[in-house]
């Protein structure tokens, strides 16, 4: 699913101008494949191929093809089309002049496709480095020769990135890496990466942004151009990448976060760029409450210690509240040997309490009498017991806090921003994709195989305390023929029991899927959408993640 999501944003992530429609024919549907040609050639080389145009309409259409040069525009991955200035030149200097294809009108039958052949003839004196062009395919002919304007109700585009061998310069730099919100009260941050291509060939920076808390534990990974062909940066241009990250809302991850950017680029000579930024997650209200509680706890512990010491001195025959003159007199008597002061013992109050407790119990033989004596003892020493309970609660809270902040992974969600739409990717998808690359996950126990065509979508939601559970289940289901449409992470309170929520007409299918999660509970979806039926599996802590 992670690959499908990244593929779906391929066009919009870089050069999103692939479908332009006028209002009078907004229902017209036209597509082209492939949307990108990437070639490495040498001077004097000829290359033949074709681009397929698909008529998705129920009526025939006529299309026209035109070749134009292509260049970057702005920093958001958008591009601009440039006219062929010398259409009659025998040996042009731009890629568009090297591409030959028919300009005759092409009639495509309803719901059919047509392959348009073309030839790329690289001249002998072609300059080394990157060259860029596009084939525009529209439903109306161009207005005139030598113009890049296409008067059309719809246009689709296939881009050409050609790399010519020779004196190729691969040079780039991370111009800027910033966190827009350095201080935030929730674990959420927006990142901006500006990469400059200073060479003469297109570069595709690939890498990730690793987010860790102040204990060095991973809290998010943002992949950059790892599984897409459209993250290129053209020569002598700057490309801006924008991402956002949101982690699990938990007070335990308060503090300074580190965002480590690592990018690699280049084909002939792989180069790396790394840089670091920091931001702080400080929930103001929760911090105020916790600080107030901590100060009260410290004051209470201080008071308890003083009370214990006072009790110890009293048992030792020393009056702790005596004035300065009396204390000085005791010191002088002790030095002169006139008075002998009993040495105080830290265990004296405890011994005294134990002795008192035994005496109370021995004073009566009746069961009710012993119970009464016990409660009387507790009330007599209530401040001591309250202090012990508070100390134990403080130690337990500290232990829970340390266990939470040192967890290796937490659920999170990232958003890849582009000109047209934002794409959300959950931590389950990222972890599943990373695990597929490194370790083959063993399948679950074989039950029944899904051999029929799947007429419903399957959504897996990790509602357990174990990150990666949804990805594990996806691998197991895919091995049995199921198609998983989406992976999600549930940021709410974890669920102990797995639940399968299904549309009523797919009860049998939901029962089979429930067996894959250890006979999960079944629940009918009350708001059934007949146009997009689905089965959602909420994975709880009872799922056997082995």
Query: Do 521 and 501 form a contact (C-beta atoms < 8 A)?
Result: no
Give the Cα separation of 449 and 482 in Å (integer): 9
User: Does 136 share its domain with 105?
Assistant: yes
- Regions of the chain where pLDDT drops below 50: 1-26, 87-90, 145-152, 325, 329, 332-342, 440-441, 443-451
Q: Is 501 left (phi over 0), alpha (psi -120 to 50) or beta?
A: beta
User: Does 38 share its domain with 150?
Assistant: yes
User: Does 454 share its domain with 466?
Assistant: yes
Q: From 139, 142, 141, 137, select the one nearest 157 (Cα to Cα).
A: 137
The range of the structural domain enclosing residue 237 comes to 172-282
Domain assignment of residue 410, yes or no: no
Q: Pairing state of beta strands 172-179 and 46-55?
A: unpaired
Q: Decide which of 368, 403, 438 is a domain's last residue.
A: 403
Domain assignment of residue 421, yes or no: no
User: Does 152 share its domain with 278?
Assistant: no
CA angle, 228 then 99 then 142, to 5°: 95
pTM over 0.75: no
Give the Cα separation of 171 and 417 in Å (integer): 25
User: Does 221 share its domain with 269?
Assistant: yes
Q: Decide which of 266, 282, 298 is a domain's last residue.
A: 282
User: Does 154 share its domain with 11?
Assistant: yes
Query: Do 111 and 55 form a contact (C-beta atoms < 8 A)?
Result: yes
Give the Cα separation of 87 and 233 in Å (integer): 27
Query: CATH number, domain at 231?
Result: 2.70.50.60
Count CB neighbours of 321 within 10 A: 8
DSSP string, 437-473: HH--PPP--------S---SEEEEEE-SSSTTHHHHH
Domain assignment of residue 108, yes or no: yes
* Spatial CB neighbours of 530, under 8 Å, sequence gap ≥ 6: none
Does an H or E element contain 96, and which?
A: helix 95-98
Q: Looking at residue 158, what DSSP letter applies?
A: E
Does an H or E element contain 82, and which?
A: strand 78-82
Domain assignment of residue 331, yes or no: yes
User: Does 375 share its domain with 487?
Assistant: no
What would the pLDDT profile of 77-124 be if each residue is shown by its tens digit?
Answer: 777 888 776 544 445 678 888 998 888 898 988 889 999 999 999 998
User: Does 222 share its domain with 106?
Assistant: no
Q: What burial class does residue 240 get, using C-beta atoms within 10 Å of its C-beta: 0-12 exposed, 13-18 middle, 19+ buried?
A: middle
User: Does 432 share its domain with 487?
Assistant: yes
Query: Do 419 and 11 form a contact (C-beta atoms < 8 A)?
Result: no
User: Does 319 share its domain with 445?
Assistant: no
Give the Cα separation of 57 and 141 in Å (integer): 19
Structure confidence at residue 295 (pLDDT):
84
Query: CATH number, domain at 466?
Result: 3.30.70.2390
Count CB neighbours of 52 within 10 A: 13
Bridge partner list, 424: 415
Domain assignment of residue 207, yes or no: yes
User: Does 27 share its domain with 153?
Assistant: yes
Domain assignment of residue 414, yes or no: no
Bridge partner list, 67: 135
What would the pLDDT profile of 49-78 be if each residue is shown by its tens digit?
Answer: 999 999 888 888 888 888 988 888 888 777
Domain assignment of residue 413, yes or no: no
User: Does 297 share its domain with 397?
Assistant: yes
Count CB neighbours of 260 within 10 A: 15
Helix (H, G, I), strand (E, B) or coil at 235: coil
Domain assignment of residue 350, yes or no: yes
What is the CA 25 to chain-centroid distance, rounded? 39
- Name the domain count of the chain: 4
* Cis before 39? omega within 30: no
Q: Decide which of 133, 164, 195 is a domain's last residue.
A: 164
Structure confidence at residue 176 (pLDDT):
93
Query: Do 116 and 64 form a contact (C-beta atoms < 8 A)?
Result: no
Count CB neighbours of 335 within 10 A: 9
Query: Do 114 and 102 form a contact (C-beta atoms < 8 A)?
Result: no
């Amino acid at each position: 699913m992670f690959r499908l999501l990244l593929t779906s944003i391929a066009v919009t992530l870089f050069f999103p101008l692939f479908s332009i429609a006028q209002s009078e024919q907004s229902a017209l549907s036209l597509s082209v494949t492939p949307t990108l040609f990437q070639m490495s050639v040498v001077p004097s080389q000829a290359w033949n191929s074709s681009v397929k145009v698909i008529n998705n309409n129920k009526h025939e259409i006529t299309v026209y093809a035109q070749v134009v040069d292509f260049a970057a525009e702005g920093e958001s991955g958008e591009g601009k089309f440039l006219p062929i200035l010398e259409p009659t030149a025998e040996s042009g200097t731009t890629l568009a002049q090297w591409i030959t294809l028919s300009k005759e009108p092409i009639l495509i039958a309803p719901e059919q496709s047509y392959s348009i052949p073309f030839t790329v003839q690289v001249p002998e004196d072609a300059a080394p480095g990157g060259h860029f062009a596009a084939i525009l395919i529209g439903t109306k002919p161009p207005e005139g020769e030598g113009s890049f304007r296409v008067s059309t109700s719809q246009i689709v585009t296939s881009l050409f990135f050609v790399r010519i061998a020779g004196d190729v310069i691969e040079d780039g730099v991370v111009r800027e890496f910033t966190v827009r919100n350095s201080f935030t009260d929730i674990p959420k941050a927006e990142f901006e990466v500006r990469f400059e291509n200073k060479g003469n060939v297109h570069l595709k920076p690939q890498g990730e942004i690793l987010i860790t808390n102040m204990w060095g534990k991973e809290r998010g990974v943002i992949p950059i151009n790892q599984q897409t062909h459209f993250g290129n940066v053209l020569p002598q241009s700057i490309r801006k990448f924008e991402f956002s990250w949101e982690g699990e809302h938990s007070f335990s991850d308060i503090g300074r976060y580190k965002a480590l950017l690592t990018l690699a680029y280049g084909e002939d000579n792989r180069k790396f760029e790394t840089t670091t930024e920091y931001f702080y997650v400080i929930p103001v209200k929760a911090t105020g409450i916790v600080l107030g509680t901590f100060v009260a706890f410290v004051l209470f512990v201080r008071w308890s210690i003083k009370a214990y010491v006072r009790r110890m001195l009293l048992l030792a025959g020393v009056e702790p509240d005596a004035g300065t003159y009396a204390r000085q007199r005791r010191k002088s008597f002790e030095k002169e040997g006139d008075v002998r002061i009993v040495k105080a013992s830290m265990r004296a109050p405890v011994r005294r309490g134990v002795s008192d407790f035994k005496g109370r119990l021995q004073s009566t033989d009746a069961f009710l009498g012993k119970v009464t004596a016990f409660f009387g003892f507790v009330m007599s020493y209530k401040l001591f017991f309250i202090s012990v309970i508070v100390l134990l609660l403080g130690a337990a809270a500290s232990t829970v806090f340390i266990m939470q902040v040192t967890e290796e992974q937490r659920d999170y969600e990232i958003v890849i921003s582009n000109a047209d739409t934002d794409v959300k990717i959950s931590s389950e998808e990222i972890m599943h994709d990373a695990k597929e690359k490194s370790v083959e996950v063993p399948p679950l126990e074989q039950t029944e195989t899904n051999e029929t065509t799947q007429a419903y979508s399957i959504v897996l939601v990790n509602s357990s305390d174990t990150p990666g559970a949804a990805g594990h289940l996806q691998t197991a289901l895919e091995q049995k023929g199921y198609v998983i449409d989406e992976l999600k992470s549930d940021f709410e309170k974890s669920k102990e029991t797995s639940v399968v929520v299904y549309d009523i007409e797919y009860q049998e299918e939901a029962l089979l899927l429930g067996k894959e999660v250890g006979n999960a509970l079944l629940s009918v979806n009350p708001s059934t959408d007949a146009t997009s039926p689905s089965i959602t599996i909420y994975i709880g802590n009872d799922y056997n993640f082995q």
